[in-house]
Structure 1
């Protein structure tokens, strides 16, 4: 190979992804010698055959392999001893994995220490029950960039209860849980639905979770010490107390079999579903014959129409099978209640009857 076939250090550095200073260092360390050094100028020149070696060197250093092991690695490759090269690489990666695990443990301890000073404990609950409640409330949220709070879940902590609430402006849902342990404090905040969705799967697998509040975040501490941090939405949550107090008193009340109604909706996916409340139960208004739903009612009769996209999620996420509908009028919000495993309330808006 003539000098004209060789590459100066700058050109070689660009090809292999190393700096010229790094190449000089590896030359001085005896790891990667240049093919030729000009005796008068001291300029280093490299051959095309050295490109693969230099790239391999860069990769090994990116993995953090010390130069002593890099030297042994190249010696094994020169001897065509692939088994030794693999052994050196695997031994190094095991050390890296152990060091990373140790660093993560130290970081977790520091994080826990810092966050515990910046947050206040609220209450503890069974993880699966808290996760199920969060799932139910998330079904009522919506992603509206102009109204970010609609993608959040409101948590209100009292000494003896935790209430979750959410709304998408067409539905309002609340769920109350009884903590297994309470700090006796009162707190309220709107938790980002996006961060809750990212954590609910791990919360569900923890027998117990502890809630703690900080400045701008809610911490969910799992039983194994893992900390899930959820951001809070600063935008004010709609004043639900005024909304609930402003609802008209129920004039009609009936109990309905949730499974039957869900099955009816799923077998007849209509855009709108009509329900006629009677003293004997509930009749479904559909183009074909539909058996009356099991349930009880009062002596009055009233017909309600609902969008399928409003009624079906409310029924799907309700608790238990026996649901109570509190109705004031066909054009007023309907309150859907259940009381299995803690109370669950959803307020849904009827719609106009379909045009014929």
Structure 2
């Protein structure tokens, strides 16, 4: 017999994935300790687990995987072969359709003229209070992207316009926006993407109360404070138009005590879903809903109420910590709409989390 930890190590499936497959009736342990609830797997189940891992990497639906495992255990090779061939044909057809669509998209991109960005002929200089800038960076840093395939998201956007500085970060699954007041620059809008290591170096200088000086010279940004200076090149990419992304659909709004709600999320029930975490790994999801009286509830069963919105619990907890307020406003709409977490006293600082679609 293998413990769930040993099964995870030997099969290539994570412990959370094994729990998920157990609850779904796909790979049920040979024995579960009635006292501790700990799962144990029989010797013959290792091959099934390895087969399951391969099938999921090949994006086979769970309904078909159940049939493959049943055919595998009963040595029904004809059934298994037929299911595999059917899935390969489905993938090939989907890939052909995707190639056609992307060919069209490339043609559309090539036909569009990219607007020329006027060169910066002068250094942009402005002042901002250290506590405001540090608070803004703390509110968005958690959402910065890490995907090497999307280098334009591997930093924080500094959007300077008039006497405001908006800082924005997103990794596609979450987005955070915060604002700081500035002085010394009232000209045209300037946008730069500051790489996350430089953002962290800037944050380390923001320990005082006095204003700090921010300068943009071409593709280089510099932050000066009484404690020192840090500088470096900006990312040579275009950041997505975040202003189009912050228009969340109408939903229900609820005020929550941040500490109480955070504890409820940490200790409350979760649903484990495949491919919902970074890199397509399984993730624990929290099911949220705002009731008619403005109360936020956490669901225990994905089927008990289809109006619950599923969100990555790790991302939710990070957003709550970054909000840094005793009271927060949650805006929750349809199960397919983003969840917004706002500061009631600051309309310009908020974060949005994309919902996770639960498998049928």
Q: TM-score with structure 2 length normalisation?
A: 0.56
Aligned to 2:338: 333
Give secondary structure in 2 for the equivalent of 1:203.
coil
Q: 1:258 to 1:354 in 2, by over 3 A?
A: farther
Greater CA radius of gyration, 1 or 2?
A: 1
Residue 179 of structure 2 is matched in structure 1 by 176
Give me the whole-angstrom Cα distance separating, in 2, the residues matched to 1:221 and 1:206: 13
Instruction: Tell me, yes or no, if structure 1 residue 230 matches structure 2 residue 232.
Output: yes
1:145-199 per-residue CA deviation (whole Å, 9 max, x = no partner) reads 11112111001112221111010000111001122x2322332111111111123
Are the aligned partners of 1:319 and 1:344 in contact in 2 as well (CA < 8 Å)? Answer: no
Question: Which residue pairs with 1:241 in the alignment?
Answer: 243
2:331, 2:259 → 1: CA distance? 19
1:329 is paired with a residue whose SS is: coil
Instruction: State whether structure 2 residue 318 is matched by structure 1 residue 305.
Output: no
Alpha-carbon separation, structure 1, partners of 2:312 and 2:151: 24
The whole-number CA distance in structure 2 between the counterparts of 1:348 and 1:239 is 17
Relative distance call for 1:268 and 1:346 in structure 2 (3 A) is same
Partner of 2:327: 322
Counterpart for residue 346 of structure 1? 351
* 1: CA distance, partners of 2:349 / 2:206: 20
Measure, in 1, the Cα distance between the counterparts of 2:345 and 2:265.
23
Partners of 1:168 and 1:308 in 2: CA distance = 16
Q: Which structure 2 residues correspond to residues 274-293 of structure 1 after superposition, within 5 A?
A: 274-280=287-293, 281-286=295-300
Q: CA deviation at 1:304?
A: 1.7
Q: Does the CA contact (< 8 Å) of 1:130 and 1:204 recur in 2?
A: no
For structure 1, the 5+ residue unaligned runs are 1-117, 288-300
Paired residues for 1:147-186 under 5 Å: 147-179=150-182, 181-185=183-187, 186=189
Match runs of 1:62-73 below 5 Å: none
CA shift, 1:123, in A, is 2.0
**SS of aligned partner of 1:178:** strand
Query: Residue 122 of structure 1: CA displacement?
Result: 3.1
Match of 1:172, SS state, is strand
Residue 219 (structure 1) shift:
1.0
TM-score, length basis structure 1: 0.56
1:263 is matched with: 263
CA distance in 2, matches of 1:211, 1:312: 31
Aligned CA RMSD, in angstroms, stands at 2.5
- State the 4+ residue runs in structure 1 displaced beyond 4 angstroms: none
Could you give the per-residue CA deviations for residues 18-51 of structure 1, whole angstroms, max 9, x where no partner exists?
Answer: xxxxxxxxxxxxxxxxxxxxxxxxxxxxxxxxxx
2:124–2:217: 8 Å Cα contact kept in structure 1?
A: no
Unaligned runs of 5+ in 2: 1-120, 271-283
Please name the residue that 2:253 is paired with. Answer: 253
3-state SS of 1:317 partner: helix
2:347 & 2:222 partners in 1: Cα distance? 23
> How far apart are the structure 1 equivalents of 2:166 and 2:200?
18
Instruction: Say if 2:127 and 2:212, in contact at 8 Å, map to a contact too.
Output: yes
Q: CA deviation at 1:135?
A: 2.5
Deviation at 1:268, TM superposition (A): 4.4
1:307 CA drift (Å)? 1.3
Q: Does residue 1:219 correspond to 2:222, yes or no?
A: yes
1:89-108 alignment, distance < 5 Å: none
